[in-house]
Amino acid sequence: MPRVVVHVMPKPEILDPQGKAVAAALPRLGFEGIASVRQGKRFELELEGPADEAALARVREAAETLLSNPVIEDVVAVETVEEQA
């Protein structure tokens, strides 16, 4: 079945407490050299039909209404993933 990946990130102007917490924890665990971290979401959707234009438009609409909160998040990418053999 075709697989579509949706990437959602907090908008740049939104404070991201999860990312800030991770960024603060990294040096405590010995990982230096990372200036900032932002945490978003990654959804993998399996489509029942082909990943054609219409299906991707539907996924994008779902991504913008259900998978992300448009007040604080951006859908940064919707991409089709090749079938694994």
Q: Which residues pair with 67 in a beta bridge?
A: none
Write b or e for each residue in 52-81: b if 16 or more Cβ atoms lie within 10 A of its Cβ, otherwise e.
eeebbeebeebbbeebbeeeebbbeebeee
Phi, psi angle pair for 70, to nearest 5°: -65, -10
What are the residues binding a second copy (CB under 8 A)? 1, 7-9, 19, 22, 25-26, 29, 31, 33-49, 55, 58-59, 61-62, 65-67
| Least distance between a second copy and beta carbon 45 (Å) | 5
| Least distance between a second copy and beta carbon 4 (Å) | 9
| Least distance between a second copy and beta carbon 41 (Å) | 6
